[in-house]
Amino acid sequence: MTEFIMIKNCEIMEISKTYTVLVSRFIYAMNWYTISPLLIYIAAEFHTSVNMAGEMIFYFLLGAGIFQIPTGLISYKIGPKLTSVFGMYIIGISTILSSFSTSVEYILLSRFFVGVGAAMFFSPGLAIIKYYADEKSMKKLVGLYNSFFNFGAGFSVIFFSYYSQIYGWRSSLFLSGILALLIGIIDHVTLDNFGFKNKIDLKPILNRNVIILGIALGGFWGAQFTTAQILTYFLETSKNYNFVLSGLSSTVILIAGIFGGFINPYLSNSKNLNRNIIILTVLVSLFIVIIPYLPLYIIYPDAFLIGFISAADFSLAYYIISNRSDISVNSLSLALGTLNSLQILIGAPSSLLFSFIFKFSINMAFVFLGFYCAIFLLIFLVEIRKC
């Protein structure tokens, strides 16, 4: 009886640690999207235009993309726990420092380092989930991992849209950074350290299926992220809607993603997972293209569908990699880092190109973004391979 109670207590502790990681994912996502409702105030203070919004997205993605694979290599040596914790510390410190910015260039540099911290948290965070989870619960937890991202991002856009009206954009960034530091400390104290001092295995970097999936979803990654970040700014500046109605559109994308993550157990039961990836990505591209042609009351359901389908797409991709028999829990950070690096580095230019085209034609900017979302799926036609 005593042994049974001890086993149950251990199981409860492991579950609680899993949810600690999910809360960290929530705070992590907040720091991704805190900047979104603040763009208009930053642009006004530093007398810049929509190009600044695209540049902020680009610098963040550049930091996140470059450091994905180094993160996987670091994780081999110090373990997923410390890698993710240090990532959260970098996010927190960089966001706090950005609140003291005296120029746009300083904010751009800060966003680059927030991207670096984001890279260090994501893949090790999912490796920690896999460490605590059994095979049966992994499908659900991968979906939850993505749902908590959207939950945190959606909350961030709603909360800081109002908070910044009262306390300003600097206070908003400062608060967001403090929360990242606090959850980093909690993770540092509570999570188990494992998978450290391992011999580095470079096979995940060269895994053909990881590379193909990363390239195929590169355009989708950049297009959906740019849409979620830029939509509020687009509605405020081009459609002249107030900050509440405009901010709600991006929030709808993010909140919808909470529910999109929950359908992963159903999508992952399919025999042809790549086919599901293609269908989901093409749907997102179509819903992005039609944005500038829609009245406000139709933009909201369109935004919901973009968010819902995108989260389902991401969850399925991460499940495909995390469930591969040739990728262990110790090498998962590097495998996911490779996947994310390809997605982000291919996707990052979309924000700059969108901002450039936007100056000449709003409609064509969204058409381009939808095209960019789907074009990289052509790699599946070159080599169709089951993941």
Q: Could you tell me the CATH number of the domain that includes residue 57?
A: 1.20.1250.20
Instruction: Report the distance separating Cα 254 and Cα 157, nearest Å.
Output: 9
Residue 95 lies in a domain: yes
Return the SS3 of 348: coil
Residue with structure tokens 């959850």? 183
**Beta carbons of 311 and 257 less than 8 angstroms apart:** yes
Q: Report the chain's mean pLDDT, rounded to a whole number.
A: 83
92 lies in some domain: yes
pLDDT at 384 over 70: no
In a domain, 237, yes or no: yes
Residue 387 within a domain: no
Handedness of CA 318, 324, 329, 332 (dihedral sign): negative
User: What is the mean pLDDT of the segment spanning 309-335?
Assistant: 81
- On whether residue 276 sits in a domain, the answer given is yes
Residues of the chain with pLDDT > 70, as a percent, come to 87
Taking 60 as the threshold, does the pLDDT of residue 129 lie above it?
A: yes
Residue type, 26: F
DSSP structure string for 179-207: HHHHHHHHHHHHSPP-S-SPPP--HHHH-
Q: What does the block give as tokens for 1? A: 């009886």
Query: From CA 56, how far away is CA 36, in angstroms rounded?
Result: 10
How far apart, in Å, do the first and last CA atoms of the chain sit?
Answer: 44
User: How many domains, in total, are found in the chain?
Assistant: 1
pLDDT tens string 3-41:
433 334 444 455 567 788 999 999 999 998 888 788 878
| Position 375 in a domain | yes
pLDDT exceeds 70 at position 381: no
CA atoms within 13 Å, Cβ hemisphere of 74? 21
pLDDT score, position 170: 95
Segment (H or E) for 382? helix 379-382
**What does the alpha-carbon distance between residue 40 and residue 42 come to, in Å, rounded to a whole number?**
6
Domain containing 344 equals 2-382
Asked if residue 2 has pLDDT above 50, the reply is no
Residue 157's nearest CA partner among 249, 77, 23, 86 is 249
Q: Is residue 86 a part of any domain in this protein?
A: yes
pLDDT above 90 as % of the chain? 29
Residue 270 belongs to some domain of the structure: yes
